[in-house]
């Protein structure tokens, strides 16, 4: 690797010749501010916040795009640089709607952080001669776009293109009227958006957020009129701690459960348990397809972002979808129609609240298909971020909470249920059970590491009872699009495919804590959070879903058999083609 010698603020460095000034500085802990820059996602130098002086150059240079050269001398904190950065921040602030006290990003707004660091006064924004820009809302069941918060950095537009592969977002109009949204501000609900939330995670402010439902849940808890059962997804425990200053990938399961008690939930279930249940249904369905010759490949149906993708973009493949509901929907159905009897509570008096790493789960829970006997499976979906806000608003000292473990039957889970939160986890959990069932014995292999990791598309061939089974793991809308191109070429036959709308799977879902652009360039958040789940899996005595005693009990007492009449009524659903405005 060719290296060059440069000097930044008097510090002599030897760095790869391929580095930009910003990259060279960041790798050596030299601070250069950034706003529009998001590594490998948006690197178009539009905000002019990262400007520096380069010896021999008359004009200030954008550190994020200028490549280093041998002998380069850079200064990052001269009066000229500071004045330029401050002026650019003033101009940006002039059209920003400051509602910091009620903002979803009140604790980690990158723009506010820069304004504080450079002691910026909102000179232009408070000048009555300047009119504030129009406020344009575009809201759905899962996502809200608020143009008044937008700093026009373009990170969300690039995130939508490069991570979701749908390119739903773009710049509308020109000049001072410019705003971000679907073309002509068409409703986000039928714009082709898959609700992966990569735009939210790319945004440095709160111009894009999940639709907040936690105030309603707070009111229900306060009234004490309903029996409120909470169930957290596997990935939540691997990320919630970040909202309270803990390192990325810290497993805070015990503190999370303790916080549920403090918040006043009536009972605690766990989506990990429902994930084990999902494996029983989805795994059995796959075995039935193997015995009946398809249709292949069978696609998993756990990710609502992926479901939105196939229903809108690849509806011809809907018959390939597993009919199994997603884990939290199964969990909600079982809470209301099975566990309610044990709790001694009428199903109609139960409110089920799912804590999800995913904004698409809000849309999913509202689907008309997802109810039984006139009762919704899940009443409210809160993101990990919303749960954190509830905990903070209740003045709970989260970090110092004593760990708690719920004792309810629907909180018992295996390692297989736990790894659902990572890309490849659903497939690995399914394989652990499918292999045992087909081989009719407890097989020694538990870990299928070829299904792990953050490669966009992973393929593996498994030998089960002498038969070769081709499986694949695909995550992120962009990768899904690529996979369908491979599938349509027909060069390889797949039997079972896990698809997730979010890159990295649920650990990197659109409802998880947002990391700053600087953190994004330093860590692979997906890998760190996934490690927490795999470590937990390794620590558990039971690591296969079909060996979960609570699951076995549920089938014996209530469901009968996997994919039987009762479970099909309660735990399975149907999917259908969905048009969006390009196709209408």
The answer to whether residue 322 is catalytic is yes
- Asked if 282 is an active-site residue, the reply is yes
Query: Long-range pairs for 562-565 at CB < 8 Å and ≥24 separation?
Result: 562/280, 562/281, 562/283, 562/284, 563/281, 563/284, 563/285, 563/288
User: Helix, strand, or coil here: 492?
Assistant: coil
Q: What is the Cα–Cα distance from 187 to 527, expressed in whole angstroms?
A: 34
| Residue 100 annotated to the active site | no
Spatial neighbors of 421 by CB under 8 A, at least 6 apart, are 233, 234, 235, 238, 357, 505, 506, 507, 529, 530, 533
For residues 149 and 181, what is the distance between their CA atoms, to the nearest angstrom?
Answer: 13
- Whole-angstrom distance, CA of residue 133 vs CA of residue 178: 9
Of 421, 500, 491, residue with least CA distance to 456: 500
Whether 116 sits among the annotated catalytic residues: the reply is no
Among residues 506, 545, 563, 567, the one annotated as catalytic is 506
Structure tokens at 469: 């089974």
Q: Of 255, 361, 362, 544, which one is the catalytic site residue?
A: 361
Q: Residue 361 catalytic? A: yes
Cα 410 versus chain centre, distance = 24
Question: Which candidate in 302, 358, 502, 563 is catalytic?
Answer: 302
For residue 130, give every residue at least 6 positions away whose Cβ sits within 8 Å of its Cβ, in sequence order, or none. 94, 124
**Prior bond of 22 cis (ω within 30°):** no
- Of 140, 191, 322, 354, which residue is the catalytic one? 322
Q: How far apart are CA 309 and CA 486, in angstroms?
A: 16
- Dihedral-angle region of residue 245 (phi above 0 means left; psi in -120 to 50 means alpha; beta otherwise): left
Catalytic residue, candidates 285, 311, 428, 498: 285
Determine phi and psi for 335, rounding to 5 degrees.
-60, -45
Q: Spot the catalytic one: 225, 369, 439, 468.
A: 369
Q: Catalytic residue, from 281, 282, 314, 498: name it.
A: 282
Which entry of 23, 311, 364, 428 is annotated as an active-site residue?
Answer: 364
**Is the CB of residue 263 less than 8 Å from the CB of residue 394?**
yes
Residue 219 dihedral angles phi and psi, to the nearest 5°: -65, -40
H helix or E strand, kind and range, residue 312: helix 304-313
Bridge partner list, 13? 6
CA distances 446 to 22, 422, 429, 576, Å, are 44, 16, 9, 35
* DSSP characters over 400-414: GPPP----SGGG---
Is residue 55 among the annotated active site residues? no
Distance CA 336, CA 227 (A): 11
CA distance 406 to 418: 16
Instruction: List, by residue number, the catalytic residues.
Output: 282, 285, 302, 322, 361, 364, 369, 506
């Amino acid at each position: 690797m060719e290296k060059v010698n440069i000097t930044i603020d008097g510090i002599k460095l030897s760095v790869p010749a391929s580095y930009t000034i910003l990259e060279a500085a960041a790798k050596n802990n030299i601070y250069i501010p950034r706003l529009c820059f998001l590594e490998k996602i948006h690197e178009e130098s539009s905000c002019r916040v990262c400007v520096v002086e380069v010896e021999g150059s008359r004009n200030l240079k954008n550190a994020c795009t200028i490549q280093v050269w041998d002998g380069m001398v850079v200064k990052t904190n001269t009066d000229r640089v500071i004045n330029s950065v401050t002026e650019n921040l003033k101009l940006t602030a002039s059209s920003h709607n400051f509602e910091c006290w009620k903002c979803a990003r009140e604790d980690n707004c990158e723009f506010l952080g820069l304004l504080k660091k450079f002691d910026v006064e909102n000179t232009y924004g408070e000048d009555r001669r300047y009119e504030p820009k129009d406020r344009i809302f575009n809201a759905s069941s899962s996502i809200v776009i608020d143009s008044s918060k937008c700093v026009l950095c373009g990170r969300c537009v690039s995130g939508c293109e490069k991570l979701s592969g749908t390119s739903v977002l773009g710049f509308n109009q020109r000049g001072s009227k410019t705003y971000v949204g679907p073309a002509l501000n068409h409703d986000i609900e039928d714009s082709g958006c898959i609700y992966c939330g990569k735009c939210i995670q790319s945004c440095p402010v709160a111009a894009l957020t999940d639709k907040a439902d936690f105030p309603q849940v707070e009111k229900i808890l306060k009234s004490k009129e309903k029996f409120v059962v909470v169930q957290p997804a596997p990935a939540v425990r691997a990320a919630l701690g970040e909202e309270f200053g803990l390192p990325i990938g810290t497993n805070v399961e015990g503190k999370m459960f303790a916080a549920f008690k403090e918040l006043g939930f009536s009972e605690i279930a766990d989506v990990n348990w429902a994930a084990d249940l999902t494996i029983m249904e989805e795994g059995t369905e796959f075995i039935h397809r193997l015995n009946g010759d398809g249709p292949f490949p069978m696609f998993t149906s756990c990710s609502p972002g992926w479901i939105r993708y196939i229903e809108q973009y690849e509806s011809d493949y809907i018959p390939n979808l597993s009919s199994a509901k997603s884990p939290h929907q199964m969990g909600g159905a079982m809470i209301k129609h099975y566990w309610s009897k044990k709790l001694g509570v009428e199903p109609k008096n139960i409110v089920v609240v799912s804590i999800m790493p995913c904004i698409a789960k809000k849309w999913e829970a509202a689907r008309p298909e997802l109810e039984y006997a006139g009762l919704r499976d899940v009443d409210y979906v809160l993101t990990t971020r919303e749960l954190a806000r509830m905990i903070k608003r209740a003045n709970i000292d989260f970090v110092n909470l004593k760990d708690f473990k719920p004792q309810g039957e629907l909180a018992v889970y295996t390692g297989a249920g736990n790894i659902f939160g990572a890309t490849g986890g659903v497939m690995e959990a399914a394989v652990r059970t499918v292999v045992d069932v087909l081989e009719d014995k407890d097989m020694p292999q538990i870990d299928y590491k070829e299904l792990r990791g953050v490669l966009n598309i992973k393929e593996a061939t498994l030998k089960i009872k002498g038969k070769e089974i081709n499986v694949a793991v695909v995550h992120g809308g962009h990768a899904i699009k690529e996979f369908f191109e491979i599938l349509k070429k027909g060069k390889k036959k797949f039997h079972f495919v896990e698809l997730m709308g979010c890159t990295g799977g649920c650990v990197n879902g659109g409802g998880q804590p947002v990391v700053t652009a600087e953190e994004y360039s330093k860590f692979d958040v997906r890998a760190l959070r996934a490690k927490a789940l795999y470590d937990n899996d390794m620590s558990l005595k039971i690591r296969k879903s079909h060996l979960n005693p609570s699951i076995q009990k549920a089938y014996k007492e209530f469901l009968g058999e996997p994919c039987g009449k009762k479970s099909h009524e309660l735990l399975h659903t149907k999917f259908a083609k969905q048009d969006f405005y390009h196709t209408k």
